[in-house]
Amino acid sequence: MFVKPAPGLRIPDPQRHDILPADGRDVPAADPYWQRALRDGDVVAAAEAALHPAQGT
């Protein structure tokens, strides 16, 4: 699933040992850490395509 941090939050990524980028990242959907972060509102599910709009000609 593709998630990004909720506004104003810095969320650690325990697998990559860094901070989840503001523009989001694909994370394992079945991972309890990310499920809890999503449930608690620390991250929001996002569509990757919506974060990277197509370039105009």
Among 37, 29, 35, residue whose Cα is nearest residue 9: 37
**Contacting residues for 48 by C-beta, under 8 A, at least 6 apart:** 2, 24, 26
Q: What's the average model confidence in pLDDT over 26-50?
A: 92
To the nearest whole percent, how much of the chain has pLDDT over 70? 84
Has residue 51 got a pLDDT over 80? no
pTM: 0.79
Q: Which residue has 């994370």 as its token pair?
A: 27
